[in-house]
Structure 1
Amino acid sequence: MHQRGPQINHLAYIDDIVIFSSGKSKLVKLIMKQINNNEKASGQEVNKAFFSTNPKGSAYRINRMRQCTIFLEKSFPFTYLGCLIYIGRKKISYFDNMVTKVVKRLNGWQGKMLTYGGKTVLIKIVLHSLPIYTLSAIDPPSGTINLLEKHFARFFWNFNENRDKHHWRSWKNICVPKDEGGISIRNMDDVSKTLAVKRWWRFRTNQSLWADFMKAKYCHMVHPSVKAWTSGNSQAWKLMVNARQVAEPNIF
């Protein structure tokens, strides 16, 4: 955390809380003491879920954390509040749960006689809405987007047989307006890019803890509109810079 930015030691949402601290025994024991005091005062036991450390953390530090907290260790990636938390480059395997949700919903529709019009409505209203929450926070790999649309296309063209039927038109051509020969199904890659631009716009126009943190870390010396991505920056900032090129193309 940059010294000029907000010094975040915890994040809370309703009844969930994430505590950030070093791995020093004295500090960890102090945190546990406060948790125990809260339990005694409220009469409610805190659900001690897990702790996570730097992936390069030593086994000695991890064992010491276990002894001080009696928590279970959980490695990255993991899901918090429905959003994937990971370190480093994104991998297709990290987003398997998002694809699984779509596949489960499709399995529930097997054996039902649906017209092409009915399938179109289900894809637009139901299937497209399932990944929106994740897409609004992070950009999945292009392979995940392609896999989602592969499931959409298979559902649209197939009936009840176990074998795949011929796809009479590419999914890319289907995802265009009706006056251009398509059926107005949104392209998932366009949806992902649109939500990425929305994140950039919120970063530039809204004041929030997240925006203050990002500006202090990456833009404390230069304006966000001209700050470039370098190899030392995170992948999160790289995605933000890519979205900026779409949201504010006239700057360069």
Structure 2
Amino acid sequence: MFLLVSEFLGRGLQHLFEQNESRYYVSVGSRVPYLAFADDMLVLARCSEDCLDSRVAFFARYQAYFGQRINGGKSSFILSNRASEDTVALVREKLQFQQQMLPFVYLGAPISQGRVTCILLAKMQSRLSHWNSRLLLAGGKLVLLRHVLSSIPVYLLQVLQPPRAIFQRVGRICNAFLWDKADGLKGIHWTSWEKVCFPTSEEGLGVRSFGDMSAAFACKLWWQLRQNRSWWTDFMRVKWLLEVPLVEKVGVVDPPHMLVAEFFGERGWNTGLLQAWLPMGLVRQVQEVSLHPDQEDEMVWVGSSSGVFSIKDGWEALRQKRNLSMADRFIWNRVLLLKISFLVWKVLRNMVPVDVNLQQRGIKLASRCWCCSLHEESLTHLFLDGAVAEQHGTSQGLRGLRWSRRGLFVRWAVRWSSWGGQIYGPWCTSRVTRMIHGALFAAWRPQATRRLRISWKPPPQDVVKLNTDASVSGRRVSGGDLLRDHDGGLIFAFYKEFGDVDVLTAESLAILQGLLFCKRVRVQRLLVEVDSAGLAHLLGSGALAKWPLCNTLRQIRAMLQSFNTTARYIFREANATVDKLAIMEAQVDFFTMTFQQLPRDVRAVILLDSREVPFVRTQIVRE
């Protein structure tokens, strides 16, 4: 019912403005009569008496029909700063609303003209005022920092562009929450916020920089602007986006009226004609553009595996990167508790408040190890060389672990629990030890399996079947196709190398080449099978895919449509013949329609397929 009422309200307002175009709000670009989200509505209109009377009459009919009442206390009107007092009085008399001045908040975002005071700091400080009064462990702080505190600015960053100083202040707030103690007591800030804003595999804590997120959201707006699929993009294009033609960029005097089709023929770009009109640098850029005149142009995000822009892909392309840390990959896992992983992360970077580190920070104190009373309290003595560390490193059932990275981190975790066990009770050590051993050896349990009989199935009579496959071995990327009839007889086979491409692209090129050969031999009814589940899904779903794979997929879809067929996924065992053909590593590409010209092992598998001899496939049974 709510949807029907909202639809009536929206269509009624639209019809109200279409009856008299002078009621539209005067602005450059598209004429938008209103913006609405659920029960929050923003109506954009002129202040003429006719427009006001028509709106008041429509609102009265709406309230009479549906029994809903417009809340005058929550409704208001906003006028230009140059509006006269008579205009203000007229609007207040007609609408019975209160006047509101800029800026105002709509759907949680400030609407203003010019600069606006950033409200990010107030939102984050109000949330922290409730957390600081509670006793939070290091793991709990990290969870709140990753999933709550870092997410507060995300909504506003989609529509605001705060200056760098705001990002620095927000970073200080988050860093203080991470390192400070409960009840607002200041702690030691062992590192800056910018150094922890990296993935855990790159020596960070798995939080994202607010500056990088803001840049990713700016890319999202650019992507939507270039797609031109909304009223917002129409407005922005007319008001702000000024397209500069290539002829103005080059600076040609008295340019000719030529079309792209005159520079692009059946064999591609006409290099000679391009060089006659463009500099060599631009000629190379133009030649890199792949055109398909029979298909519509479509935007592709290069950094995405799907070809469609996402915030994650934009952030990954714009953020600063570090080298991958093998040690940190072992720290952050499901075996260790989050607080233990955080402790090991600090230990590796010497961020533990032992006496030696405190002395280096200017705190004067006498240092003595509390467990042996013989050495000063340092990081290496406490975790590696001390008597208690050695005792717990060789006990607790860890004698069988080799001195590897995993063994080192497990020992550190147990030592930490033992350190806490001497304070909170002996149960802590045994509990953490059992947890670690259970997680380490749970994956070693044998899994149930089942065996399936898989064989190649011949097509129906008067139908031929195309099987394709590709192989990537070292630097050699090759593919092969087989076209067979209902008796399993060979119609054609080919082998081709594709250069330096990935597996999915090689699979796509193999099926495209096979379809081209099918068209050459004038196949009428066709079935296509591939053993790549990803490729079959991409072709069937119509997804865009990454660049330049998307162009190949579009050609494959067009050819499949011309044959009135689809690409079906089969198990690799049913595609064994083409697999043999793809990995044969021939010296040159070849195409044959003769059975005897194929390698011996390929001929043998073709004969087995013609008799539907099955292969065995082992599957893991999921519980």
Are the counterparts in 1 of residues 134 and 183 from structure 2 also a CA contact under 8 Å?
no
**2:222 paired residue number:** 200
Query: Aligned to 2:206, which of 176, 179, 184?
Result: 184
SS of 2:132's equivalent? coil
Q: Rate the CA distance shift 1:223–1:79 in 2: closer, same or farther, 3 A.
A: farther
SS of 1:18's equivalent? strand
**2:150 paired residue number:** 128
Question: How far off is 1:128 after superposition?
Answer: 1.1
Query: Aligned to 1:78, which of 104, 110, 119?
Result: 104
* Alpha-carbon distance between aligned partners in 2 of 1:112 and 1:149, rounded to the nearest angstrom: 21
Give the residue type in structure 2 aligned to 1:222. E
Query: Aligned to 1:41, which of 65, 75, 82?
Result: 65
Question: How far off is 1:169 after superposition?
Answer: 1.4
1:90-239 to 2 correspondences below 5 Å: 90-91=115-116, 93=117, 95-96=118-119, 98-205=120-227, 207-219=229-241, 222=243
Structure 1 spans left out of the alignment, 5+ residues? 226-242, 248-252
Establish whether residue 61 from structure 1 lines up as the match of residue 83 from structure 2. no
* Alpha-carbon distance between aligned partners in 2 of 1:42 and 1:161, rounded to the nearest angstrom: 52
**1:21 paired residue number:** 45
Structure 2 spans left out of the alignment, 5+ residues? 1-26, 247-313, 319-623
Question: How far off is 1:180 after superposition?
Answer: 4.5
More strand by share: 2
Are the counterparts in 2 of residues 215 and 224 from structure 1 also a CA contact under 8 Å?
no
Query: Aligned to 1:8, which of 23, 28, 32?
Result: 32
Q: Rate the CA distance shift 1:121–1:206 in 2: closer, same or farther, 3 A.
A: farther
- CA-to-partner distance for each residue in 1:195-215, whole Å, 9 max, x for gaps? 111111122125112112211
- CA-to-partner distance for each residue in 1:120-155, whole Å, 9 max, x for gaps? 221111111112111122222333322221211111
Percent of matched pairs sharing the same residue = 29
Give the residue type in structure 2 aligned to 1:42. F
* Alpha-carbon distance between aligned partners in 1 of 2:134 and 2:66, rounded to the nearest angstrom: 52
Question: How far off is 1:191 after superposition?
Answer: 0.9
Query: Aligned to 2:54, which of 11, 30, 33?
Result: 30
**2:332 paired residue number:** none
* Alpha-carbon distance between aligned partners in 2 of 1:39 and 1:8, rounded to the nearest angstrom: 23
* Alpha-carbon distance between aligned partners in 2 of 1:112 and 1:80, rounded to the nearest angstrom: 33
Give the residue type in structure 2 aligned to 1:32. V
Give the residue type in structure 2 aligned to 1:122. L
CA RMSD of aligned residues (A): 2.6
Are the counterparts in 2 of residues 175 and 186 from structure 1 also a CA contact under 8 Å?
yes
Q: Rate the CA distance shift 1:223–1:7 in 2: closer, same or farther, 3 A.
A: farther
* Alpha-carbon distance between aligned partners in 1 of 2:203 and 2:93, rounded to the nearest angstrom: 64
Are the counterparts in 2 of residues 157 and 166 from structure 1 also a CA contact under 8 Å?
yes
SS of 1:167's equivalent? coil
* Alpha-carbon distance between aligned partners in 2 of 1:67 and 1:224, rounded to the nearest angstrom: 51
* Alpha-carbon distance between aligned partners in 1 of 2:170 and 2:37, rounded to the nearest angstrom: 30
* Alpha-carbon distance between aligned partners in 2 of 1:82 and 1:195, rounded to the nearest angstrom: 17
Q: Rate the CA distance shift 1:179–1:205 in 2: closer, same or farther, 3 A.
A: same
**1:250 paired residue number:** none
- CA-to-partner distance for each residue in 1:165-208, whole Å, 9 max, x for gaps? 33221211222344544323211111111111111112212511
- CA-to-partner distance for each residue in 1:31-81, whole Å, 9 max, x for gaps? 112211221222221234000011332333222211121111111111112
Are the counterparts in 2 of residues 120 and 185 from structure 1 also a CA contact under 8 Å?
no
Q: Rate the CA distance shift 1:210–1:223 in 2: closer, same or farther, 3 A.
A: farther
**1:230 paired residue number:** none
SS of 2:182's equivalent? coil
Q: How many residues align?
A: 221
Q: Which has the higher contact order (CA 8 A, sep 6+)?
A: 1
